[in-house]
Amino acid sequence: MYALVDCNNFYASCERLFQPALIGKPVIVLSNNDGCVIARSNEAKLLGIRMGAPAFEIKDVILKNNVAVFSSNYVLYGDISRRVMNTLSQFAPEIEIYSIDEAFLNLSGFDIYDIEAYARKIVYTTTKNIGIPVSVGIAPTKTLAKVANKIAKKNQDKKGVFILNDKTSINKALEEFSVSDVWGIGRQYSKFLNKYNIFTALDFVNTNKEWIRKNMSIVGVRTMEELQGNPCIEMETTPPDKKAICTSRSFGTMQSEYEPIAEAVAQFAATCAAKLRKQKSCAAMMIVFIHTNQFRKDLKQYAKNIVVSLPVASNSSMELIKYAEIGLKAIYKKGFQYKKAGVIVSDIISENNLQTSLFDEVNRDNQKKVMQVLDKLNSKMGRDKVRIAQQGFSRKWKLRQEKLSPCYTTNINDILIVKT
């Protein structure tokens, strides 16, 4: 049996955690630059606020209903997620952290327990220890656990727990479950399936397997098997290394001068380098891109990217910043108001399989030692406390975060003071 534990309205719940007066009141969290809604409390959902709604379009709803609005605080959410996952790891020998607010638990061999009582203990302990409400779906496969979790979330009478453990309960759940909501189906496949009168998960299960194989390949067959209760998707206790890493941001205010854009690109390249070092990899190729705001038809438009090949694959911040600047200089043009820039690194290999060049003049051993010291200092003192000079400190390009909450758990200056 597998359990999928999912935090309820995670970002909104994180904000409520330190402002309990918001419990029972509508709360929304906005995307980068306070653009669109990316998280909603149940109360906000009842007001008709949809996911992805531009903030300016729902301004009247926010004011009329006294909706609490927050800028996305990913540092806070990441730390709360870590605490939730540490708590969940106590309940099973194997845990797969699927996303920032979801984790699969392998409950194989737990047949001697009262599974429902055990699931309620998970809900109680996580909510009590961390303060984040969770829902638990349990089933013989990971895909069915996803189905069970959605049912647990939508039905208040389930009290956060739903179990699919026999053919009757599974078929009943699948009969009422839209095929578009099945894990692994996706929007395009669901449209395709609807054309053939396949609207529910049970319709999908009852479809001819060879037809599924022909039109949806082995992935579709695997999903079908999972929905039938046959495990096909194994636990991934160690996340696979990324094959490409992208770091990009929209600027808080549009930028026309080269210097702040170069500073932003240097920061993005350094972030990519840090992620490469974390997974012990190096990248041999880089894409640098910039573009204007396509929605501002009153402004001149420009978008450009460039591919830069590194002579030797690297994960050094210094080296990636150097080549990112070379790329930016080649594509930057004066006279435009730029809205976004980014860096993508690819052609990623293990740092243990690094192929050097006969003409390489870089002292890579020394460079590696410098990066190790930099990472150690930043781990101890805080993110980007030590940085390459090109990353700068002015940050004219930084995100607009007018509703940003404090980093209560990661910044000593933001720790709550309790007066008695």
pLDDT reported for residue 164: 92
Contact 275, 319 (CB under 8 A): no
- Over 90: is that where the pLDDT of 225 sits? yes
Angle formed at CA 69 by CA 64 and CA 73, multiple of 5 degrees: 175
Q: For the segment 82-128, what is each residue's pLDDT rounded down to a tens digit?
A: 999 999 999 999 999 999 999 999 998 887 778 999 999 999 999 99
User: How does residue 397 score in pLDDT terms, banded at 50, 70 and 90?
Assistant: confident
CA dihedral 300, 303, 308, 314 (to 10 degrees): 100
Closest alpha carbon to 313 in 265, 363, 370, 353: 353
Measured CA to CA, the distance from residue 99 to residue 31 in angstroms comes to: 17
Which of 158-162, 217-221, 346-350 has the lowest average pLDDT?
A: 158-162
Q: Is the model more confident about 59 or about 354?
A: 59
Contact 133, 127 (CB under 8 A): yes
Q: Token match 């300016």: residue? A: 56
Assess if CATH 3.40.50.450 describes domain 245-391: no
Half-sphere exposure of 64 (CA within 13 A, CB side): 8
Half-sphere exposure of 122 (CA within 13 A, CB side): 32
Q: Token match 């758990």: residue? A: 409
Please state the domain extents for the chain. Answer: 2-163, 167-227, 245-391
Q: 317-331 and 258-278 are packed helices; what angle lies between their axes, rounded to 10 degrees?
A: 140
- Over 90: is that where the pLDDT of 47 sits? yes
* pTM of structure: 0.78
- Over 80: is that where the pLDDT of 400 sits? no
Q: 115-130 and 74-88 are packed helices; what angle lies between their axes, rounded to 10 degrees?
A: 140
- Over 90: is that where the pLDDT of 354 sits? no
Q: For the segment 134-193, what is each residue's pLDDT rounded down to a tens digit?
A: 999 999 999 999 999 999 988 777 788 999 988 999 999 999 999 999 998 988 999 999
- Per-residue burial over 180-207, b if 16 or more Cβ lie within 10 Å, else e, is bebbbbeeebbeebeeeebebbbbbbeb
Provide the token pair at 142: 């990971």
Beta-carbon contacts of 128 under 8 Å, excluding residues fewer than 6 positions away, are none
Q: Tell me 8's DSSP state.
A: T
Whole-angstrom CA distances from 349 to 139, 277, 346 are 37, 11, 9
Measured CA to CA, the distance from residue 286 to residue 265 in angstroms comes to: 12
Provide the token pair at 344: 């993508």
pLDDT reported for residue 23: 92
pLDDT reported for residue 253: 85
Q: Which fold has domain 167-227?
A: DNA polymerase; domain 1 (1.10.150)
pLDDT reported for residue 32: 80
Q: 317-331 and 364-381 are packed helices; what angle lies between their axes, rounded to 10 degrees?
A: 100
Measured CA to CA, the distance from residue 3 to residue 106 in angstroms comes to: 7
Beta-carbon contacts of 353 under 8 Å, excluding residues fewer than 6 positions away, are none
Q: For the segment 295-314, what is each residue's pLDDT rounded down to a tens digit?
A: 888 899 999 999 999 999 99
Residue type, 1: M
pLDDT reported for residue 324: 95
Residue type, 158: K
Measured CA to CA, the distance from residue 92 to residue 254 in angstroms comes to: 49
Contact 391, 263 (CB under 8 A): yes
Q: Is the model more confident about 367 or about 82?
A: 82
Q: Is the model more confident about 397 or about 177?
A: 177
Q: For the segment 18-43, what is each residue's pLDDT rounded down to a tens digit?
A: 998 999 999 999 988 788 999 999 99
Residue 271, Cβ neighbours under 10 Å: how many? 21
CA 119 to chain centre: 25
pLDDT reported for residue 226: 94
Q: For the segment 189-206, what is each residue's pLDDT rounded down to a tens digit?
A: 999 999 999 999 999 999
Contact 196, 208 (CB under 8 A): no
**pLDDT above 90: percentage of residues in the chain:** 66
* CATH class of the structural domain 2-163: alpha beta
